[in-house]
Structure 1
Amino acid sequence: MTNFHSAMSTQLVANLQSEIGRLRHELQTVSHEDEVPAAGDTVFIADYLLERLAQLGVTQMFGVPGDFNLAFLDYVEDHPKINWVGNCNELNAAYAADGYARVKEGSIGVVTTTFGVGELSAMNGIAGAFSEQVPVLHIAGVPSTSQQKNKPMLHHTLGDGRFDAYFKASQQFTISQATLTDAASAGAEIDRILTDCVVTARPVYLMLPTDLVHTKIPAKRLRTPLNLDLPANDPDTEEFVLDEIMKLVDQANGDVVILVDACAIRHNVKSELADLLKKTGFPVYAAPMGKSVIPETYDRYGGIYIGSISRPEIKENVENAKLLLSVGGLKSDFNTGNFTYHTPTNRTIELHSDNTRVQFASYHGIGMKQLLPKLTARMQPLHLDASAISVPKFISPVPKEDNEIISHAWLWPRVGEFFRSKDVIIAETGTSSFGILETPLPGDAVFLSQILWGSIGWTIGSTLGAALAAREVGLKRTILFVGDGSTQVTVQELSVMMKMGVKPIIFLLNNRGYTVERFLHGQTAKYNDITNWRWTSLLTAFGGIEGETCQSYTVRTKTELDALLNTESFARADKIQFVEMIMEMHDAPKGLKAQAKLSGIPNKNISVGLNTDA
């Protein structure tokens, strides 16, 4: 009970510190509002919201127009910094906002839908962002405040007067919600959910009634930036945690391995992590969702650890280390080789966004953003010992195969040679995301996948958002690997890519069906088959001009694909390009085969004691 009460007390202190910080910021804002305003120092609520988004670096808004958001979209269209993208459907729009936020680190994605029918269509994409900890704002244009009060039988309602049904649904998939009801609270409510979105790296939801779009409120709050500082770690607890960690480090005699994962990106500790690695020299590995957190050309980087399906040398080095320092772990089934991590708790330290775990003890409110620099300072003297630990070089040579079939064993090492620094590389759930894990990426490359949520078709919409963000932040090519089954779910967004002038290279794996499902169950079942489209006609069907604004290819052999990858005009990516690769129906990456085999083990044999904290 003592440990329980201690943890509760620490959490209470952290919560109080967070609330004190919020109130201080509110007081600062109020002090600005006490100033004598200039005449006309007011702003429409719509413009207030857009200005806050612009302050967060948002330049693209995704979504679909609908009668309850049209008035707001007039303001979006007139805004000098925020561009309305306009998607084919709300699901794709949510995926695009997700991809945009992942690439434009420090900003957020924004999707706008109409009441009911639109917001429900977007909800799967919002849920995925929640699952994978991606900051997305979902704006729902909704009926006026008087209509919500009087409850007429409007279109897009359920016909039973429940105007809050969709709000209640959104509460399951967003970290914070607001329904604007009046001018007095609108600015504060917008600020509250945007702050929550950034600080927690989770989606938030805003109901924007049609009548409040045109309502004016004081503009003075906009002079005070949003308070995006994380709650401070309690100094006494933090010092104790550092002491406890260093005791274990000393006991390990410098035999420490670092394992990085997705939340090192989501919670903005890449620079602190890079400093730790540089100053200590400890070996570092990545979980699948943490691929590209560390440049894979770094000489102390050893590759991807996926539990029992890891490369033997990686598995041995990670699991035999005397101490494992996990940074931003998300221990889901596909991220851990179906929960086959063999990393005992008594040899593990876990750093998360809002807590730290040292062996069996949890310290709530001690976040890694503030802890890492202090830990680096303490561990820096161990650099000499750490540098003596050998790290296997993470390479994946192209195998020699005595045939012309484009196999997975050959494909992924070969495309690895095609990648360049600052590429954004996106892999669809299943075949592609498993295949590319063993492929080293160039330094400064960015990798996107959706391993935890795993929504089929996510990458098409996400590629749109990622390509737009890449263009803004100075990244280079956007390259997508996606299966034929996944593409059929969300393919319409290819048309929006061409409208927006982004030029991804899309590699379609044509193996006539749902390969990941075949390996899980039903190798020859009809439900895993799909209709084979005329894939190379898609870009022209969606408005492209072949040879001018787009180019499509079909490759059936290693020689054909190798020649295409060596063609400089193709590699320049100066137009959107679509490559249909004909592959064997029952071929798959070895990692996917191993994962599918593990997934068939009865649940009673699977450990479910692993956490999924950030």
Structure 2
Amino acid sequence: MSSDTAALEAEVNRLRLEVQTLRATTASEPIAIGSYLLERLKQLNVKQLFGVPGDFNLGLLDLVEAHPEINWVGNCNELNASYAADGYARVNETRIGAVLTTFGVGELSAMNGIAGAFSEMVPVLHIVGVPSTAQQQAKMLLHHTLGNGRYDAYIKAAENVTIAQGIILDAESAAATIDHILTECMKKARPAYLTLPTNLIYTKIPSDRLKIPLSHTQAPNDPEVEKEVLNEIVQRVDRASANDSVVILVDVCAIRHDARAEVNELVKKTGFPVYAAPMGKTVVPEDCKGYGGIYVGSISDPVVKAKVESAELILSIGCVKSDYNTGNFTYSIPAARTVEFHSDHTKIQHAVFPNIGMKALLPRLTPLLDPYSASARKITIPPPYTAVVPDDATNTITQAWLWPRISQFLRPKDVIVAETGTSNFGLMDVPFPAHSSFVSQLLWGSIGWATGCTLGVAFAARERNLGRTILFTGDGSIQLTVQELSTMVRHALTPIIFVLNNSGYEIERCIRGAEAQYNDIMDWEWTALLRTLGDRDGTKSVSYRVETKAELSKLLDDETFASAGKIQLVEIVMEMHDAPRALKVQTAMGNEENVYGY
């Protein structure tokens, strides 16, 4: 289906929903409001609902438990549940994640995860079971309140970290509210917030609206403005291509706003050299011809840095100009040499064209640039993006050796999750195989996020028939959210979990306090975790401890281990103060600006 057809169909359905809102009917089979919500989630291919039971959401949970296609995951705490919903949505790409919590105590616990999803543009629906409408109106002094009668306090908090808030107060508007919130969540690729009072969960409403599908398709671009934009871009490409000086720079919003296919078609058809920002790693397959590696400002490989920054024209797609994604704001790609493609606007130099989105624009631009492909394929690009394992005599596992060696272990379609810190920066510098996915949280950077996220990632990877789910985290990071390993065991998920044991918070040591006690942690018996957290008889999991390069290489080469038939945890013993190159450079630059004033 073309983008024009999809946009037209979405608009027709939007208008049909508006008509249904204005003309409620009782002709259809009535449905409980809670069931209506679940049916909408089912239509959106949401198969997992994360969360924690609480007295104000138990009525909805009874409906979830009876639902044939939506599985209640059940998390150890609400923070982990929100992380898992985030991971689920990231890997499913065109679906949303969903988390259910109870009023007050549950929703506030989940809010950090929701804020991270907002920051990184991940569509997560946060459903909150709340007290009855009568209790709210009477401002009763209920448990989970602040004790001051304020029932809007948590809604006001949610307004800061969600794109839309649906507050259901009556049956008449419930279906329209649910539909609006879900649509905003999908279209804006941001979390949304929905409250469901206990007394309305089973209230019956018409089901007519369920016949009209919801859509995440953006409104069509204005044809005249789009034509102007296309002409301007082609003229700039024409001038720059005369000197073989056009490059493509891809970033994470190409994934968030469902433009991965369009981006890859542009790369394939034009032949322009392509690079990725750290958050955009794996938007374009890293084994494709013309791929040159990661561009992250002054932290980049010198060859990559020179190629990108010397280009006369950079086609920047879905960029996020955050500190860690730009090498502490050291991007040297002036607006005068850049065309930016975004979900809801296009920017050419300093001119912004609102409502000209990349999803529809890129398929029209690609054929117009086809005449330049022959010369583009002659452009000199950096050597193939490869990982070279250092050949040194020591047997100590170092950061410089670990990540190129791990690159050899990865397989097509693997989903790799990296915790903020050494793992994220280490994996940034090595190539991934075709059709693999990289999941990281470089902008929000919440320590412990990756373990909770891996739960959702593993569910999504299983649903999509992807490859192995592999987590890289630190001994400090995993201590925050380790309980979720038990949920993985419970649901027979089989991720491989690499725990880098370097005796504490290494990223913090790079920033400040290299020898400070506040960066120390208690050393755990890591290989006993999976048995402690659910696998009592040791049949569902395997754990390993490796202290040398030889031991780790032997394990990575073992086919039984590599096949990931069980959940597996690998403790990798490393030296304190050893950090990846990119992390050292990034934190050194950051330290120059983070002046404490004494």
TM-score with structure 2 setting the length? 0.96
Equivalent in the alignment of 2:17: 26
For 1:431 and 1:327, how far apart are their aligned partners in 2? 27
Does residue 168 of structure 2 align to residue 177 of structure 1?
Answer: no
Matches within 5 A, 1:39-50: 41-50=29-38
For 2:439 and 2:226, how far apart are their aligned partners in 1? 33
For 1:255 and 1:406, how far apart are their aligned partners in 2? 41
Matches within 5 A, 1:56-455: 56-252=44-240, 253=242, 254-392=244-382, 393-455=384-446
Q: For each residue in 1:443-500, what CA deviation from the matched residue of structure 2 results, as whole angstroms up to 9, or x when unmatched?
A: 0111100000000000111000000010000102100000000000000000000001
Structure 2 residue matching 1:533: 3-state secondary structure: coil
Equivalent in the alignment of 2:42: 54
**1:18 and 1:231 in contact (8 A); partners too:** no
Amino acid at match of 2:93: E
Equivalent in the alignment of 1:573: 564
Identify which range, 50-59 or 246-255, moves more after superposition. 246-255
Q: For each residue in 1:260-305, what CA deviation from the matched residue of structure 2 results, as whole angstroms up to 9, or x when unmatched?
A: 0000000000111111111111110000000011111101111000
Structure 2 residue matching 1:495: 3-state secondary structure: helix
Structure 1 stretches lacking a partner, 5+ long: 1-16, 605-614
Q: Deviation at 1:105?
A: 1.7
Aligned match of 1:505 in 493, 496, 501? 496
Structure 2 residue matching 1:211: 3-state secondary structure: helix
For 2:444 and 2:231, how far apart are their aligned partners in 1? 37
Identify which range, 240-249 or 433-442, moves more after superposition. 240-249
Q: What RMSD in Å do the two structures reach over aligned CA positions?
A: 1.6
**1:25 and 1:227 in contact (8 A); partners too:** no
Structure 1 residue matching 2:172: 3-state secondary structure: helix
For 2:321 and 2:21, how far apart are their aligned partners in 1? 43
Amino acid at match of 1:224: I
Q: For each residue in 1:179-202, what CA deviation from the matched residue of structure 2 results, as whole angstroms up to 9, or x when unmatched?
A: 101111000000000000111110
Q: For each residue in 1:327-350, what CA deviation from the matched residue of structure 2 results, as whole angstroms up to 9, or x when unmatched?
A: 000010000000000111110110
Structure 2 residue matching 1:307: 3-state secondary structure: coil
Structure 2 residue matching 1:138: 3-state secondary structure: strand
**1:407 and 1:584 in contact (8 A); partners too:** yes
**2:10 and 2:217 in contact (8 A); partners too:** no
Q: For each residue in 1:96-147, what CA deviation from the matched residue of structure 2 results, as whole angstroms up to 9, or x when unmatched?
A: 0000001112111000000000000000000000000000000000000001
**1:21 and 1:231 in contact (8 A); partners too:** no
Structure 2 stretches lacking a partner, 5+ long: 1-7
**1:307 and 1:339 in contact (8 A); partners too:** yes
Equivalent in the alignment of 1:481: 472
Structure 1 residues 157 and 25: CA distance shift in structure 2, 3 A: same
**1:109 and 1:135 in contact (8 A); partners too:** yes
Q: Deviation at 1:26?
A: 2.5
Q: For each residue in 1:6-36, what CA deviation from the matched residue of structure 2 results, as whole angstroms up to 9, or x when unmatched?
A: xxxxxxxxxxx999878624246469966x8
Structure 2 residue matching 1:233: 3-state secondary structure: coil
For 1:332 and 1:218, how far apart are their aligned partners in 2? 46
Amino acid at match of 1:152: M
**1:32 and 1:220 in contact (8 A); partners too:** no
Identify which range, 233-242 or 21-30, moves more after superposition. 21-30
Equivalent in the alignment of 1:586: 577
Structure 1 residues 52 and 302: CA distance shift in structure 2, 3 A: same
Q: Deviation at 1:206?
A: 0.2
**1:422 and 1:445 in contact (8 A); partners too:** yes
Amino acid at match of 2:482: V
Q: Deviation at 1:439?
A: 1.1
Q: For each residue in 1:531-566, what CA deviation from the matched residue of structure 2 results, as whole angstroms up to 9, or x when unmatched?
A: 101111100001114652101110000000011001
Structure 2 residue matching 1:308: 3-state secondary structure: coil
Q: Deviation at 1:442?
A: 0.5
**2:13 and 2:212 in contact (8 A); partners too:** no
Structure 2 residue matching 1:303: 3-state secondary structure: strand
For 1:567 and 1:109, how far apart are their aligned partners in 2? 35
**1:32 and 1:221 in contact (8 A); partners too:** no
Structure 1 residues 19 and 576: CA distance shift in structure 2, 3 A: closer
Structure 1 residues 570 and 69: CA distance shift in structure 2, 3 A: same
Q: Deviation at 1:600?
A: 1.2
For 2:347 and 2:194, how far apart are their aligned partners in 1? 34
For 2:341 and 2:12, how far apart are their aligned partners in 1? 23
Amino acid at match of 2:310: N
Structure 1 residues 18 and 146: CA distance shift in structure 2, 3 A: farther
Structure 2 residue matching 1:601: 3-state secondary structure: helix
Q: Deviation at 1:47?
A: 0.4
Aligned match of 1:466 in 449, 452, 457? 457
For 1:261 and 1:471, how far apart are their aligned partners in 2? 25
Amino acid at match of 1:24: L
For 2:206 and 2:414, how far apart are their aligned partners in 1? 43
Structure 2 residue matching 1:293: 3-state secondary structure: coil
Does residue 520 of structure 2 align to residue 532 of structure 1?
Answer: no
Amino acid at match of 1:283: P
For 2:11 and 2:156, how far apart are their aligned partners in 1? 29
Structure 1 residues 574 and 379: CA distance shift in structure 2, 3 A: same
TM-score with structure 1 setting the length? 0.93
Structure 2 residue matching 1:87: 3-state secondary structure: coil
Amino acid at match of 1:239: K
Identify which range, 378-387 or 81-90, moves more after superposition. 378-387
Structure 1 residues 499 and 20: CA distance shift in structure 2, 3 A: closer
How many residues matched?
585
**2:85 and 2:99 in contact (8 A); partners too:** yes
Identify which range, 168-177 or 231-240, moves more after superposition. 231-240
Q: For each residue in 1:30-79, what CA deviation from the matched residue of structure 2 results, as whole angstroms up to 9, or x when unmatched?
A: 69966x825xx100000000000000000000000000000110000000
Identify which range, 540-549 or 520-529, moves more after superposition. 540-549
Equivalent in the alignment of 1:12: none
Amino acid at match of 1:447: F
**1:546 and 1:552 in contact (8 A); partners too:** no
**1:91 and 1:122 in contact (8 A); partners too:** yes
For 2:518 and 2:13, how far apart are their aligned partners in 1? 53
Structure 1 residue matching 2:86: 3-state secondary structure: helix
Identify which range, 46-55 or 361-370, moves more after superposition. 361-370
Structure 2 residue matching 1:202: 3-state secondary structure: coil
Amino acid at match of 2:545: T
For 2:39 and 2:14, how far apart are their aligned partners in 1? 22
For 1:579 and 1:132, how far apart are their aligned partners in 2? 29
For 1:335 and 1:346, how far apart are their aligned partners in 2? 21
